[in-house]
């Protein structure tokens, strides 16, 4: 028998036998058996607070905030509005394209 024919036959054979196995509480049993580990969500807060503190220090130290206070009132409000509205628009488009396997427009 030719290799391709054999491949097709085996793919057909295994394909017929392949079936999804229902969870039937298996995942819950696994979750119950998992050992307890310390909650490490504090890591997120530590890095977030450290990031804010570093930003504030650098902002004041380099004169960025003082400069921004001077520059911001001189930027036309339309530029700021465009910037503010563009961000969620671009974010939504990016989200749609990364998740397009799950969401359809119609």
Instruction: Find the binding residues for another protein in span 37-66 (CB under 8 A).
Output: 37-41, 43-44
Among 12, 63, 88, 91, binds another protein (CB under 8 A): 12
Which sign, positive or negative, has the C-alpha torsion 87, 89, 92, 97? negative
- The least distance separating another protein from the CB of residue 61, rounded to whole angstroms, comes to 31
Q: Verify binding: residue 95, another protein, rule CB under 8 A.
A: no
Integer Rg of the chain from CA: 28
Q: Return the SS3 of 81.
A: helix
Binding flag, residue 4, another protein (CB under 8 A) = no
How far apart CA 63 and CA 75 sit, in angstroms, is 18
CA 92 to chain centre: 13
Q: Shortest Cβ distance from residue 12 to another protein (Å)?
A: 7
Rule CB under 8 A: is residue 10 a binding residue for another protein? yes
Exposed/middle/buried for residue 91 (C-beta within 10 Å: 0-12, 13-18, 19+): exposed
- Indicate whether 96 belongs to the interface with another protein (CB under 8 A): no
Which residues are at the interface with another protein (CB under 8 A)?
A: 1, 6-7, 9-14, 17-23, 26-27, 29-31, 33-35, 37-41, 43-44, 98, 101
């Amino acid at each position: 028998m030719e290799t391709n024919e054999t491949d097709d036959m085996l793919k057909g054979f295994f394909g017929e036998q392949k079936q999804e196995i229902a969870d039937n509480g298996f995942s819950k049993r696994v979750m119950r058996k998992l050992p307890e580990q310390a909650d490490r969500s504090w890591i997120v807060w530590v890095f977030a607070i450290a990031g804010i503190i570093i930003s504030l220090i650098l902002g004041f130290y380099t004169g960025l905030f003082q400069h921004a206070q001077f520059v911001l009132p001189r930027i036309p409000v339309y530029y700021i509005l465009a910037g503010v509205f563009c961000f969620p628009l671009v974010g939504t488009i990016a989200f749609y394209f990364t998740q397009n396997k799950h969401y359809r427009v119609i």
